[in-house]
Structure 1
Amino acid sequence: MDFYSFKEWFTMENVVDLIDKYRSFGPLPGILLPLLEAFLPFLPLFLFVMANANAFGLGWGFFFSWLGSSLGALLVFLLVRRYGDSRFFRFLQRNKKVQSLTTWVERRGFGPLFILLCFPFTPSAIVNIVAGLSKINIYQYMFAVIGGKAVMIFTLSFIGYDIVSLIKQPIRTGIVIIIIFILWYAGKHIESRMKNKAHTRG
């Protein structure tokens, strides 16, 4: 099977069938598929999330997708942070675009990262690598991933689970927007407290 045929295989029906086939492993397939996407960004995360919502229901489907995707993002971040001095990553660090991105991440912190990770089609693999190469605090990034992924995956899960309700009941769409604001505000509050503690210690 060539790469094109491999990508063509990924349809909602095939992914749901795959999850059902390995249902004896419990939620493991639903967690592993989004986790793998963090390491193999050509895999369709949006399809995995919507398939999980169909296979496990909205609540559990969202939770398994969020857990897998968040763990994958944090693992990539930690691996890059740990091995950032290797030859491959030194090559990336010399790239001017990567340097400007890492500087941007270090200066801006939680807020922009959270917003970026809220959107389904943000190249999260690049965000994970750049954040790992930067000097951003690991806890800042962890909160941005947990919050941003929650918003993005809940939105995709909701669409995949009941797209008709999303169109016919705009109140539910409003709830998603409110959740984004609450998570963003909470994240900024946590970031502010962390900066104050760091300044006090300094």
Structure 2
Amino acid sequence: MDFGSFEEWFTLENIMKLIKQYRSFGPIPGILLPMIEAFLPILPLVIFVMANANAFGLWLGFLYSWLGACLGALIVFLVVRKFGQRRIFSFLSKHSKVQKLMKWIERHGFGPLFLMICFPFTPSALVNIVAGLSKISIVQYGLAVLIGKMVMIFTISFVGYDLHSLLTKPLRSVIVTIIIFILWYFGKRIEVKLNKSLESVHNGEIDRSRG
């Protein structure tokens, strides 16, 4: 199976079939899929969350997705925090953009980190790794993940729950479209602001070196 076929396989229908196939394992498949996404960011978290909401219901689907996504993010953070100085991660911590992002997270703490995690269109895998490499406290990071993922996962679960009504109820489709646009818009705003903050840090370092 080539990469293109691999990506094409991850549709809502196929993931729902997979969850139903292993339904005898209870909530384990619903928790594992979002958890694995934290280690393999090429996997579609949005599809996993929507499939959980349809397979288990809105509230249980949200709970399983939230638990899995939080567990995955925290495990990645703790692994990077413990082994971040080892050779496997040394090339990352020495990268100039990664160093700037680490300093930005350390300087601003919980608030911006929470906002970045809230939106599904920000690179959460990169955020997890950089947060692990930074000096931000585990408590700050844990709270940002638990609350930020709660907002993000519930929004996706609500959007993905009862997809049939999206076709039969035009007003719901309009609301869902607006929600997706808002998430995309604010995700892009955060990305732009993050890039500007990194640029200002870089310019400040240059000015200090010249002074």
TM-score tier by shorter-chain length is 0.7 to 0.9
The match for 2:21 is 21
Q: How far apart in 1 are the matches of 2:89 and 2:10?
A: 31
Written as runs of structure 1 = structure 2, the 5 A alignment for 1:1-202 is: 1-162=1-162, 163=166, 164=169, 166-167=172-173
- Distance (whole Å) between structure 2 residues aligned to residue 135 and residue 33 of structure 1: 29
Point out where structure 1 has 5 or more consecutive residues left out of the alignment.
178-202
> How far did residue 2 of structure 1 move?
1.4
Question: Structure 1: which amino acid aligns with 2:151?
Answer: V
Q: CA deviation at 1:169?
A: 6.9
What is the rounded CA distance, in whole Å, between the counterparts of 1:88 and 1:94 in structure 2?
Answer: 12
1:18 shift after superposition? 0.2
2:136 & 2:39 partners in 1: Cα distance?
Answer: 21
CA distance in 2 between partners of 1:70 and 1:120 (Å): 14
Q: Which amino acid aligns with 2:148?
A: G
Deviations 1:107-132 (A, max 9, x none): 00000010011101111110000000
Say what the alpha-carbon RMSD is for the aligned residues. 1.7
* CA distance in structure 1 between the aligned counterparts of 2:85 and 2:100, rounded to whole angstroms: 18
Query: Is the 8 Å Cα contact of residues 102 and 130 (structure 1) preserved in structure 2?
Result: yes
Q: Structure 2 length normalisation: TM-score?
A: 0.78
Counterparts of 1:93 and 1:57, CA distance in 2: 41
Q: TM-score, normalised by structure 1?
A: 0.81
Q: 1:107 to 1:44 in 2, by over 3 A?
A: same
In 2, are the aligned partners of 1:53 and 1:59 still within 8 Å (CA)? yes
Distance 1:169 1:104, change over 3 A: closer
Which consecutive segments of 4 or more residues in structure 1 shift more than 6 A? none
Deviations 1:60-90 (A, max 9, x none): 0000000000000000000000001111211
**AA at the equivalent of 2:119:** F
3-state SS, counterpart of residue 75 of structure 1: helix
